[in-house]
Structure 1
């Protein structure tokens, strides 16, 4: 395996993955942190890591780890709260670059995507050359690095990009697939979670090669017909799925877990406002409007309920999202129930340019939207939270767990 002009035969699929995306964007904004351990995530007892630089990862820090534990492993790390609006802006620019190469772009998240470059060869060269071109463009235009896997299938391309990290490119041609796949642990196969891995290890199957040489019927008996067939096919590098261009984003939102359970409706209303503002900023950053607003409420005993309401017209105005979210919450009549978590989500998204909402804005709503757009501009220049509603300036809420924005 390796890169080179002669190494792309039979390869038309790229998997491009930004390296430590959130943390890398933060280091770009604060270059004095380059080369140091940086953690993006929530502070406090319930804070959770959402991203970490490779300097922090060397200490064992990883996403979804409690921030307190991460700081015990790496006490010199800088912890930053994150800015989802900024990450969304960078993500949109990167995806636009990908689509300038090929219309066949299938994003998996904000920071990774599959590309089918079969139709781009005449203009830009083979898949390896296109991969190197993309890496250079991302670095030149965004100041962050990415890793690229090049292969004949999506499954192998994704594994290759993981092996190439950080800041590398790996190509696996069809004749090289077995040599690449079979030494890997069975956990590398898509669909192998902890329970399935435990079952496979009990059967003595530790590597993909071990699994590949077990009859499909045996796997089907142990794992079920669908799972057994799926893993047997992957173990032999067979993945017929095509790169499917992305559909418009369907939902986005934010949620927060309080550091101590809250029963004060004033505090909860204030939190709903903050989450609605954040969600609206995310909508504007991705150029979408929401047709439906939903809330999530988790109680002290971890019981969770959701409620939703469809709007009269789609919106990206934080105040409108908040009014709806607050109405949904108040309608629950919880009467000082102890709340652990609240969330606001915008659903059934439509592209802003294709929705009639912009033509229907009244003077009041138009003024709110203009104010929120001005706040977006201030946030990009001075940082998140530079401008916010007066209600959020003085807060009695306890420190929260994490900025759990969800694309």
Structure 2
């Protein structure tokens, strides 16, 4: 049996409340239940996404992927006040990347067998599994786009990135993804968002929002015994068309849930946007690649300041667990 499908049968949905913002936890649960009315094969991608394998539903409802996506979008809007940007493709990777191209209220469909052509013009860093370090290595060999990665000999990619990674990149660049939609799978990411009451021009206040988000996600991961491998920052800002959203992610130097590490990387990603005096309405932070803390190693530091900060963080976590999340916070946030 083939690991890919000839026709689009996988949907990736990105949820956004009408007027901006992410659905709350109850609203998100309702959206997952809505998808469950179409197919039992639904994988949550909190806080604003979900994967759904609708191949059986296409036959049942007598519609193609775009037609079924339109029905889902209308119900999400009518019942939950949420608009959806939807990607439809033959596998989860292509569906996710198609959803990134789709505007709210739109569906981007990758035709069956058209994955390689769809990906060809994307930069190397946009490909699943390619972080900033791998992208720099690939670009150093002239492989700066997915199309060029796909055209490179497999042996060349394996010499550059290693046997296993090279094989995975070679397949993904051709639109091949061997993962499945896994119902009730453990969350692979965790995210939070801050909205400003009005367009915010002050970079300092934007940094304070990022620190608050990093503290929140770090405490949540530490409480669950998890660490993350990468961070993604999303900035919603005003432009000529109304509001647009920029998202950029980077890999951490090692998996961590340490708030100071998360904050530092979040600042660097935010500064890399070069927004300067942009009118920012909201900022989001997503911790990606979650894994159990016991499954990764921490490089011991000889820096006494770092070790002291981690001990203080552990004490603060215990105080928050006993007296509430506002019991202890950085002085910069309390000001």
Aligned equivalent of 2:70, options 124, 132, 135: 132
- Distance in 1 of aligned mates of 2:57 and 2:184: 18
Q: C-alpha displacement at 1:160, in angstroms? A: 0.5
Aligned equivalent of 1:92, options 29, 37, 55: 29
CA separation of 1:240 and 1:87: change in aligned 2, threshold 3 A: same
After superposition, residues 26-65 of structure 1 pair within 5 angstroms as 34=19
Q: C-alpha displacement at 1:337, in angstroms? A: 9.9
Q: C-alpha displacement at 1:167, in angstroms? A: 2.9
Q: How many residues align?
A: 224
- Distance in 2 of aligned mates of 1:297 and 1:336: 9
Aligned equivalent of 1:214, options 144, 148, 152: 152
Aligned equivalent of 2:126, options 175, 188, 195: 188
TM-score where L is the length of structure 1: 0.47
Alignment match, 1:144: 82
8 Å contact kept, 2:45–2:188 = no
CA-atom RMSD in angstroms: 4.2
Q: C-alpha displacement at 1:126, in angstroms? A: 2.0
Alignment match, 2:50: 113
1:106-162 CA distance string (max 9 Å, x none):
112232111111111233222211111111111111112111001111111111000
CA separation of 1:223 and 1:128: change in aligned 2, threshold 3 A: same
1:329-368 CA distance string (max 9 Å, x none):
xxxxxx9997257447xxxxxxxxxxxxxxxxxxxxxxxx
Alignment match, 1:339: 312
The 3-state SS of whatever aligns with 1:245 is coil
8 Å contact kept, 2:15–2:84 = yes
TM-score where L is the length of structure 2: 0.56
Q: Unmatched 5+ residue regions in structure 1?
A: 1-7, 29-33, 39-52, 54-81, 260-270, 280-295, 303-334, 345-388, 403-407
8 Å contact kept, 1:253–1:343 = no
> Is 2:7 the partner of 1:10?
yes
Alignment match, 1:384: none
- Distance in 1 of aligned mates of 2:260 and 2:171: 43
8 Å contact kept, 2:116–2:174 = yes
